[in-house]
Amino acid sequence: MQRPKLGKIKLLSAKEQVAAVLRKAILSRELVEGQEITLEGIAGMVGVSSMPVREAFQILAADGLIKVRPNKGAVVLGINEQTIREHYEIR
């Protein structure tokens, strides 16, 4: 019997997992344009400390999905079909 060719799994860091969860929520419009998100709120929802959330915010800000507001958390930026397409092509 021939063994199937399976790819290796990737172990993601907490910040990468948080960024992935938030990216999915933004692209699926569960988090909408103008919605404010906080470190503490997201940390509580996903069950991690605030540090990986802070790092995930930086990743998403660099991707243009959120704008970080010092001492206030972040706000979700508007997305369009092109943005969604680009992010799905990248991932």
pLDDT at 76 over 70: yes
d(CA 34, CA 18): 20
Q: Where do the domains of the chain lie? A: 14-90
> Which H or E run includes 73?
strand 73-76
What's the chain's Rg over C-alpha atoms? 15
Residues 6+ apart with CB under 8 A from 21: 46
Please state whether beta strands 66-69 and 73-76 pair in parallel, antiparallel, or not at all (unpaired): antiparallel
Q: How large a percentage of the chain has pLDDT more than 70?
A: 86
What is 14-90's CATH number?
A: 1.10.10.10
pLDDT at 21 over 80: yes
| Per-residue pLDDT, 83 | 67
